[in-house]
Chains A and B, each alone.
Chain A
Amino acid sequence: MSQLFRRFISLPIQSIRSFHSFDEVTPAKYISTRLQNGIGSRYVCQLQRLTIQVCKEFRTSFGTREWIANELTAFARQHPYVVIYVQPRRHRPPNVIGEYLSGDRQWIPLSNCDRSHVNWWIHSLLTQQGDPQWRLLKQMHTDSPSIQGTWTPFTNKPIDRTLRIYPDKDLTDIEYPQMTATQQIKELFEQEKLNKTT
């Protein structure tokens, strides 16, 4: 039912803090970064803007209020690439909304969270790529799984086999050596003799 509803009306993506409902199919992908972030000489923080919605009176936003009073300026100074908006809303629960460069949006309710929890959630938004609802097919992925190339029946096959006439003496010698063990030992003995004389 809710899936059908979503199809018609564009609702914001559900928060990762909300309950996960199994009646919707989670999209899956391999682990990747947007635009090969970090391969060049710089890293671009994917969090574009942060909106903190807070109430000045209610107990539910006590931690959020404390965070704003104590850590907001330092955070803004440390991360000047994030635009921070603080929205006071009377008698409503506190939220933090992160908007990302890719256009995705993350919404996290902060009701009854203390200062350290608020800090944790805000930093988790900061370090994210912004796509919360993806199921990773694997924890690691590579575009080039084999450097040597995939094996085929023709790889490392000696090329002179086309010219041989079967039964071939060399090939049978490999399978069934004509020399007996005694003969081999005798040969080794003679070789050693030669080595000593020279």
Chain B
Amino acid sequence: MVRLLRYGTIFGPLKDRWRYLYKTDLYKRRIEAGPEPERFRSALINWNYDAELHACTHRFGEKINIESLRHALTDSSFLNQIVKQRTEAGLAANDQTTLSFTHNEELAKRGEQIAEDFLRRALQYWYPKFPQEGIDTITKFLLSEPTIADISSGLGFKTLIRCDVPSPHSTMLKKAFLAFIGAIDENNDRHRAELFVADFILTHLVGKDINEIWHIKNPMGLLTKVLEENGRQAPESRLIWATGVSSVLSTYVVGIYSNKEYLGKSAGATISIAEEMAARDALRRLFETDEQRAPIPFDKLYKKGLLIDK
């Protein structure tokens, strides 16, 4: 593992004055030239777009028509570029019949609709007591631009998208990914498209706490409201333990009860913090989203009873 040869000996001894000067000059020139410009992957010699698309369909095990996939991966910026090039060349730019393809905007909308619908349904199914507002927030987080762009680039859409910049922006990545879902729906059935969403978008929740994604501003107020709706008494907070009260590292443990029935407890540096955290804990227990809750069975949602159609 240790480098056995000296740096100088690989390319010839640097003890020669002229060689030393030559190498130093080359080094300086390379620094001056700066970084290499970004290039399209398709500019390299080892590139066959049809083969890439064919491999892309096999990668996810989806049976998609190649033309349909090509359509799904064509961004509007690419189309605009083509039109611009045609006008510059003196061709009829507005004549859409000369362009044999369109961009993926509509397919992306279709895919987004499917994804949103499915995610909302799956979350409601697995967390039935979680409020609608929270489910909306989590769906919004899962379909947000950074999340989808991260998934899209992780699945290799970065090089496959046809657009006017070498490294596609996150909007382009998002559109292409959602259009791919739309293309699955178009070629196969809705079931396959929803399975794709479950496999690649819903799994983004692994290792994340959904209570942290939906940040509740006033947990005590929400707890009162929820208890009122269920016909229970208003919450009462009680101090259970306290240590180091006069020190810097003071700890209070506050429990929350409703009609002497235990709801949840938490520790905090001050009583107000501990009370707020205890309210959050009580809410977690009421919504059944606490740590003891089983994780979403990503591959078995249908088997466990989630229906395809309502």
Q: Which residues of A contact B (CB under 8 A)?
A: 5, 8-10, 19-22, 34-36, 39-42, 44-45, 48-49, 51, 80-83, 85, 87, 101-103, 143-144, 149, 152-154, 157, 159, 162
B117 lies within 8 A of chain A by Cβ? no
Cβ contact within 8 Å between A10 and B207? no
Cβ contact within 8 Å between A35 and B36? no
Cβ contact within 8 Å between A19 and B35? no
- Chain A: CB-nearest residue to B59: A81
How far is B31's CA from A19's CA once the two chains are assembled, in angstroms?
24
Q: CB within 8 A of B158: which of A51, A80, A103?
A: A103
Contacts of B30 in A (CB 8 A): 5, 9
Q: A22-B2, A81-B59, A87-B46 are in contact. List 12 more A-B contacts (CB 8 A).
A: A5-B30, A10-B35, A19-B4, A35-B151, A35-B154, A35-B203, A36-B203, A39-B299, A41-B199, A48-B156, A80-B54, A144-B291
Contacts of B203 in A (CB 8 A): 35-36, 39-40
Minimum distance in angstroms from B4 CB to a CB of chain A: 8
Contacts of B291 in A (CB 8 A): 144, 149
B193 lies within 8 A of chain A by Cβ? no
- List 5 interface pairs A-B (beta carbons < 8 Å), by A numbering: A35-B200, A80-B54, A101-B155, A103-B153, A144-B291
Contacts of B34 in A (CB 8 A): 8
Q: CB within 8 A of A42: which of B2, B60, B154, B253?
A: B60
How far is B151's CA from A44's CA once the two chains are assembled, in angstroms?
13
Minimum distance in angstroms from B71 CB to a CB of chain A: 20
User: Known contacts A36-B206, A83-B48, A102-B154; is A48 also within 8 Å of B243 by CB?
Assistant: no
B45 lies within 8 A of chain A by Cβ? yes
- Chain B: CB-nearest residue to A80: B58
Cβ contact within 8 Å between B241 and A83? no
- Chain B: CB-nearest residue to A159: B240
B257 lies within 8 A of chain A by Cβ? no
User: Known contacts A19-B3, A48-B156, A83-B51; is A40 also within 8 Å of B58 by CB?
Assistant: no
For window 118-171 of B, CB contacts with A under 8 Å fall at: 151, 153-156, 158-159
B179 lies within 8 A of chain A by Cβ? no
Cβ contact within 8 Å between B199 and A40? yes
How far is B59's CA from A158's CA once the two chains are assembled, in angstroms?
57
User: Known contacts A82-B55, A157-B241; is A152 also within 8 Å of B207 by CB?
Assistant: no
Minimum distance in angstroms from A169 CB to a CB of chain B: 23
Contacts of A152 in B (CB 8 A): 267
How far is B56's CA from A80's CA once the two chains are assembled, in angstroms?
9
How far is B155's CA from A102's CA once the two chains are assembled, in angstroms?
7
User: Known contacts A20-B1, A48-B55; is A87 also within 8 Å of B156 by CB?
Assistant: no
User: Known contacts A101-B154, A159-B240; is A41 also within 8 Å of B200 by CB?
Assistant: no
For window 6-60 of B, CB contacts with A under 8 Å fall at: 27, 30-31, 34-36, 45-46, 48, 51-52, 54-56, 58-60
Q: CB within 8 A of B298: which of A9, A22, A41, A154?
A: A41
How far is B290's CA from A31's CA once the two chains are assembled, in angstroms?
26
B61 lies within 8 A of chain A by Cβ? yes
Contacts of B204 in A (CB 8 A): 35-36
Contacts of B256 in A (CB 8 A): none
How far is B154's CA from A85's CA once the two chains are assembled, in angstroms?
22
How far is B153's CA from A102's CA once the two chains are assembled, in angstroms?
7
How far is B43's CA from A91's CA once the two chains are assembled, in angstroms?
24
Cβ contact within 8 Å between A101 and B267? no
Cβ contact within 8 Å between B1 and A83? no
How far is B54's CA from A108's CA once the two chains are assembled, in angstroms?
26
B176 lies within 8 A of chain A by Cβ? no
Minimum distance in angstroms from B14 CB to a CB of chain A: 12
- Chain A: CB-nearest residue to B296: A39
For window 182-236 of B, CB contacts with A under 8 Å fall at: 195, 198-200, 202-204, 206-207
User: Known contacts A21-B3, A153-B243; is A35 also within 8 Å of B155 by CB?
Assistant: yes
Cβ contact within 8 Å between B36 and A10? yes
User: Known contacts A34-B154, A149-B291; is A49 also within 8 Å of B46 by CB?
Assistant: yes
- Chain A: CB-nearest residue to B265: A154
Minimum distance in angstroms from B116 CB to a CB of chain A: 18
| The 4 residue pairs across chains A and B that have the minimum distance between CB atoms | A40-B199, A101-B156, A41-B299, A85-B46
Contacts of B151 in A (CB 8 A): 35
How far is B45's CA from A159's CA once the two chains are assembled, in angstroms?
74
Cβ contact within 8 Å between B60 and A51? no
How far is B298's CA from A19's CA once the two chains are assembled, in angstroms?
42
How far is B206's CA from A174's CA once the two chains are assembled, in angstroms?
47
Minimum distance in angstroms from A107 CB to a CB of chain B: 13
How far is B240's CA from A96's CA once the two chains are assembled, in angstroms?
66
- Chain B: CB-nearest residue to A40: B199
